[in-house]
Amino acid sequence: MAAVRFRSQWAGDTPRSVAVRCATLAEIAAWLAQYPCEKDPAGFPPTRPDYAEQQARLLASVKRRFEAVVGQALTEADYSEAL
């Protein structure tokens, strides 16, 4: 089983969870590798072009942190972390 749960303290971002049944660690790794984590946060208002750079930094940070947690999770048998 693999699951991703997104939680935010920012207004406008709603929590989301998704889980899939996987038979092997390789299936979990493949699913996590394709998971679009940068689509989870709403972030800055898309109608405000002056926020474009901040939005790009936010999404890059989310992706970097997701990849780090996934990398650690795949090396440990029972791993869970709240960011």
pTM for this prediction: 0.73
pLDDT category at 72 given cuts 50, 70, 90 is confident
Surface-to-core class of residue 32, CB atoms within 10 Å of its CB (0-12 exposed, 13-18 middle, 19+ buried)? buried
Q: What is the tens place of the pLDDT at every residue in 12-67?
A: 777 889 999 998 888 888 899 899 888 878 788 878 888 999 999 989 999 999 99
What local confidence, expressed as pLDDT, does residue 83 receive?
Answer: 44
Using alpha carbons, list the distances in angstroms from residue 59 to 15, 23, 28, 32.
16, 30, 23, 17
What local confidence, expressed as pLDDT, does residue 45 receive?
Answer: 80
Rounded Cα–Cα distance for residues 60 and 46 (Å):
16
Find the DSSP H helices in 4-73: 25-34, 52-73
